Amino acid sequence: MMFQIWLHAVLLFCGLFSNAIGAFVGVNIQTAVSNMPSAPDIVAILRAHQITHVRLFDADAHMLNALANTGIEVMVSVTNQEVLGIGELPSTAAAWVNKNIAAYVPSTNITAIAVGSEVLTTLPHAARILVPAMSNLHKALVASNLNYQVKVSTPNSMDVISRSFPPSAATFNTTLNSTITQILQFLKSTKSFYMLNAYPYYEYVKSNGIFPLDYALFKTLSPVKQIVDPNTLFHYNSMFDALIDATYNSIADLNFSGIPIVVTETGWPSFGGSIEPDATSGNAELYINNLIRRVSNDSGPPSQPAVPINTYIYELFNEDKRARPISERNWGLLYTNGTSMYDLALGNAEITGANSSSSFCIARPGADDKSLQDGLNWACGNGQANCAAIQKGQPCFNPDTLQNHASYAYNDYYQKMRGSGGTCDFGGTASITTVDPSYGSCRFTGSSNSSGGMFPSPALGPVGPSSESARTVHILHFGTIVVATLCLLQVNLRSFL
């Protein structure tokens, strides 16, 4: 009984703790890429750029296995092709959850299921089955005692809203009201969130010059160009905020409230054809970095200032297999070797570039296993790198991949030896990054917090019989660290109740 009371207290603390962490910026990982890195290499890239949240457009087993024990939060997707079967048969939904969710948690930190992608506007014939599919998945999660950890929703584009400006007058397309009302009822009853795909790039292009480019790129507008909602007098500093508020007001128009919005897709193409003059690397860099700054201030849009805007950027890599227009192939943040398309500020890291003061040597994504193993053996042998942290049971052992272990060993050698001529090469299997690859309690040599872990270690020390109050303080201190760690690792504590 006391254990259950303690767990309930932990769950309450986790709710408060998670709210205090603030908004996050994650990334979408699509698959129409010719030279797609392996799943372990993708995870190494995510960690190198300190990306803590990802959305997968399917439930790929290789990716879900590679993401195990990383702490990265994962949104998996039911493909549009799977929606009909899951909506028609509860047994199909149960089998999907067992295969793609229950088989991986808690090792893989799956926190949400995106049911389809823009089903209402791309597959209107499936609209009737969308909510039954969501409901069947939720019931399957309840049966597996995973409904508290994994939320169910469906991504919608701005096309479901008939007119987005002014935001205060926005409403859903009346032909979709019945289905959207059912979706909102489901989200409200399951304490889930509305998934929104919001693209200022497309809205700006469609506006034909009505809105200034600076407005779409989060750039400061002059007083005479500021965008104001005439009904509320709210000032909108970015089209991104206006699109989110248009969605909140559309939800309110159907008499719903208290359903937070998560932006499941947004971004800006870095290259386009002759008829796409605003799809440029410079505009993409401005949009993405300004977006990250915007989300990171933990505030909501003018109508919901206290509700942070968790956001997933579209997308990790360019999809060269996509059809025209040319811009459709150029939304990626990174090349497939893990280097940035442009200066980038992901995962709470400073913007990286030539002027960064710290550099790290990591295994190059895509390097062949034999060469990596040779490099790892040399670094931990003749190179005299300290490889204790990547041994089993030590803080840098997981994920147990050659890419991860080689990165740690390469960097330890490089940091110790570069002052006397040591290089970051290892037979072409290594590369320099200015993004600190440290994660969790695994700290890479050269990190600004090399000696620390996720939390500072409590100075417990000897406690004598006359120091009962000190003992209590130490126990509470240690307990808080344990609880916070459990919260961050998203341990499914309710399974113990």
CA dihedral 296, 302, 304, 307 (to 10 degrees): 0
For residues 279 and 269, the answer to whether their CB atoms sit within 8 Å is yes
Active-site residue, 118 included: yes
Which residue among 118, 203, 285, 319 is the active-site one?
118
Closest-CA residue to 181 (of 86, 129, 252):
252
Task: Report the candidate in 71, 103, 72 with the shortest Cα–Cα distance to residue 489.
Answer: 71
Structure tokens of 471?
Answer: 């003992």
Q: Check 73, 82, 203, 265 and give the catalytic one.
A: 265
State CA 108 to chain mean position distance. Answer: 14
Please name the amino acid found at residue 208.
N
d(CA 53, CA 47): 10
Q: How far apart are CA 35 and CA 80, in angstroms?
A: 24
Strand segments, DSSP code E, in 238-345 are 261-266, 311-313
Q: Is the dihedral of CA 370, 372, 375, 377 positive or negative?
A: negative
Rg (CA), the chain: 24
Would you say the C-alpha torsion 97, 102, 108, 110 has a positive or negative sign? positive
Q: Which helix (H) or strand (E) holds 406?
A: helix 402-417
Peptide bond into 106 cis (omega under 30): yes
Hey, what are 37's tokens? 């890195």
- The terminus-to-terminus CA distance of the chain in angstroms comes to 10
Q: What is the dihedral of CA 370, 375, 376, 377, to 10 degrees?
A: 90
Give the Cα separation of 160 and 158 in Å (integer): 5
- 402 in the Ramachandran plot: left (φ > 0), alpha (ψ -120 to 50) or beta? alpha
State both tokens at 253. Answer: 């128009």
User: Please, are residues 57 and 37 in contact by the beta-carbon 8 Å criterion?
Assistant: no
In 207-358, alpha helices (H): 213-216, 239-253, 281-296
Is residue 276 part of the annotated active site? The answer reads no
Residue 334: helix, strand or coil by DSSP?
Answer: strand
SS3 40: helix
Contact 414, 339 (CB under 8 A): no
**Residues with active-site annotation:** 118, 265
